[in-house]
Amino acid sequence: MTRFDEVKMVPIGIFNTDAVEIPRHWSISDVEGTLVIDQKYTDGLSGIEPGQKIVVLFHFHKSPAFDPSRHLRQIPPHRDRATGVFSICSPVRPNPIGMSVLTVLDVCKNRITVKGADMINDTPILDIKPHIDRKVKT
């Protein structure tokens, strides 16, 4: 693989929610939903517990296509001037990958009920990782 080879990813599941209004960022969200993970990965959920925080990587599948001539610098809603795409959380990016830190409410087989989501219904889930608080030694 060279530095610029294409990378292919296959979602491990989808996010389901009944929420209609989705906050722009997980840090201000109370939205609840369920990560429905492909059953072949169910055993990989072992160790995820209610109350734990997890990092969820997902695909911004409904975002417009990235156009470098228009999207390298963007004005986010909370700022008054354009800034580089890599310094903000815009869903319009070269690789439309989002990241959220969610609180686990329940785990049942291949389903993880979570709170704090900033994803719309049917969002493809790319990966799940533990959230490591730097105050906690691993």
Q: Beta partners for 33? A: 114
* pLDDT given at position 137: 61
Question: Beta-carbon neighbour count of residue 128 at 10 Å?
Answer: 22
The alpha helices in the chain, defined as continuous H runs, are 68-71
Confidence of residue 136 (pLDDT cuts 50, 70, 90): low
pLDDT value at 138 more than 60:
no
* pLDDT given at position 32: 93
Residue range(s) of every CATH 2.40.30.70 domain in the chain: 13-61+96-130
Could you report the per-residue pLDDT of 26-69, keeping only the tens digit for each?
A: 876 788 999 999 999 999 999 999 999 999 999 988 887 887 78
Could you report the per-residue pLDDT of 77-134, keeping only the tens digit for each?
A: 778 888 887 777 777 778 889 999 999 999 999 999 999 999 999 999 999 999 998 7
pTM recorded for the entire structure: 0.84
CATH 3.40.50.1820 assigned to 13-61+96-130: no
* pLDDT given at position 77: 76
pLDDT value at 1 more than 70:
no
Amino acid at 18: D
* pLDDT given at position 49: 97
Q: Classify each residue of 48-75 as buried b or exposed e, where b means 16 or more C-beta atoms within 10 Å of its C-beta.
A: eeeeeebebbbbbeeeeebeeeebeebe
